[in-house]
A and B are shown apart, each in its own frame.
Chain A
């Protein structure tokens, strides 16, 4: 009987659900959504049509995409995930300019501020760096090798960020750690000098973002975690400056079906005027015009006041749709208006979204998606995230059982 239980657990792991991801070009030239192995890009400047040029012929990604991101200067775009391939695209021509193979599945990506280095983290906790010097996108896709930069000891890295001044690379993991490492002049030799560790979270750290203010251009680090807090850090010393209990803040929005104690912070986004931070959390169901919407990913561009959200999953078991997604946009975060809180942030009607229905069709795959799918999707994302990041707690019975079945134990008498 117990064997069955274990087998079931194995089976569950086979159907891995990946949350939908969204990323917006720094000046909102385009928007990218990744659902499962599908990468969808909508151009907001031209006629909206973007076809990804990848000379390999086969689909760009063969398995779930786990990380997408635009470079700070808007020239590059990176996608990576479970198929152990990192694709670096030109964000103008949408030509794949570089393909990097990873030994393990990729969990996070980052692009240095000058666009010369791409970092990605794998499931073994190693962060790799790819040097892009000499690649300008004029030639066809090149294959590059990555060099190990740093490592968290066998902990899944959940998020990677470069500091605004480019001096540090920050990595967060499922062991509550945030490591701030000096980004070296020769990154291919590895980053050995650790500036600080930001310690304070009591569950996995899920997301990182920098806040830049006029008084503090180096920026503060903000992190979201499975312990349902958002914390503010000074990265040079690693000291904790502030903690925000998201549960308490979100209290007034809470739906009646609050069953669990924790709401995991899954996404963070800094509003351009840098006084507001948007946080996406699990459990909480934001009711928008009768639709249940739990964003799986957030994004915005530095130039506009729009906050883009997406929800959805790939490989949703029990439904006809192989992968579903829904895009929403919130406006009202316009910069330099301190009184913006007076008028509530507004969720745009589908037709008011830049790019309109055409964009939605491209990014969602279809305009209308059944509502009940999303509640199922939200549930699936939550389970997937828990399986991935929360440490398994075995009951003492089960632990004893596992010990008993260990085949290397000496038999007494």
Chain B
């Protein structure tokens, strides 16, 4: 505790990490070779490190409870933290490519666990390139919700293949999502919004949620207000474009 107080990266008043010490570049190239450790397969992920309260025994990899929500490109983790209290019994993970940002989220979750005993035990974060290594973390049909909030727009046509929602990557998302699982996307860039929507619409394993289903889903409301990026858009009075689709069994 004493050590923490002298640590300038932790705010003295809230106990949370201070963002200014975790500044990172806004964009990261998803195509470059990754030099961080990647689990060989989903069975090689040690969940006791991520969720000590749910997996008390270290070392032995138990698969009684599986991660069900994944926030791809979680950024500073705003959505995870809102979801954590909304679904306290569901394990969820954030995936972020930028090292410093991941560190921030890690510290933030640890600090929240300390200040709110018993809470925020169900969320964690990993640094990884989710566009390359999603199958290394999740088994087939394991996830129930995937989030892609305010992804990098990559305007140039040459860079469209770097977009996190693309026709070919949707195949992989359809693989890790269980039937009935939901994919949530939102952006403040109209062009990207249209792109994500058209990718999902033309994919045979996804169908759009009906208007009343969107109304009834408590998570939809969080999309535009829970994340740091969303709050920024709201502050500037920007528009948002969302696409929410369900994983279905393809008709063939």
B-contacting residues of A (Cβ < 8 Å)? 124, 126, 148, 150-151, 153-155, 175-177, 179, 181, 184-185, 189-194, 196-197, 199-200, 202, 238, 391-393
From the candidates B31, B40, B161, name the one contacting A199 in the complex (CB within 8 A). B40
Q: Separation in Å of the A78 CB from the closest CB of chain B? A: 23
Range, interface on chain B: 20 to 34
Chain A, residue nearest B206 (CB) = A192
Which of B34, B161, B205 is most buried by chain A, counting CB atoms within 10 A of its CB?
B161
Any A CB within 8 A of the CB of B174: yes
B-side residues, CB < 8 A to A, are 30-31, 33-35, 40-42, 131-133, 135-136, 140, 161, 167-172, 174-175, 203-205, 250, 252
- Tell me the bound Cα distance from A188 to B31 in angstroms: 26
| The one of B35, B140, B167 that contacts A190, using a Cβ cutoff of 8 Å | B167
Interface pair B168/A196, CB less than 8 Å apart? no
| A151 and B168 within 8 A (CB) | yes
A146–B118 alpha-carbon span in the complex (Å): 56
What's the minimum C-beta distance from B156 to chain A, rounded to whole angstroms? 15
B41 and A192: CB pair below 8 A? no
CB distance from B192 to the nearest CB of A (A): 18
Select from chain A the residue with minimum beta-carbon distance to B41.
A199
Given contacts A150-B171, A153-B169, A175-B132, A124 and B40 within 8 Å (CB-CB): no
The answer on a CB contact under 8 Å between A153 and B175 is no
**Are A192 and B40 CB-contacts (below 8 A) given A150-B171, A153-B168?**
no
10 closest A-B pairs by beta carbon, nearest first, are A151-B168, A199-B41, A194-B175, A197-B135, A391-B33, A192-B171, A154-B31, A153-B131, A153-B132, A192-B204
> Closest CB of chain B to A170's CB: distance in Å?
14
Contact of B203 among A177, A192, A196 (CB under 8 A): A192
Instruction: Give Cα A202–Cα B136 distance, bound, in whole angstroms.
Output: 12
Q: Which of A154, A193, A196, A238 contacts B250 (CB 8 A)?
A: A193
- Shortest B24–chain A CB gap in Å is 13
Contact A196 B35 (CB under 8 A): no
In the assembled complex, the Cα of A126 lies from the Cα of B42 at a distance in Å of 24
Chain B residues within an 8 Å CB radius of A155:
132
Cβ–Cβ < 8 Å partners of A197 in chain B: 135, 175
Known contacts A199-B41, A200-B41; A192 and B252 CB within 8 A of each other: no
Contact residue among B33, B40, B161, B172 (Cβ-Cβ distance under 8 Å from A392): B33
Among B40, B168, B174, B205, max chain A CB count under 10 A is at B168
Task: Kindly report which residue of chain A lies nearest to residue B174, judged by CB atoms.
Answer: A192
Asked if A150 and B140 sit within 8 Å, CB to CB, the answer is no
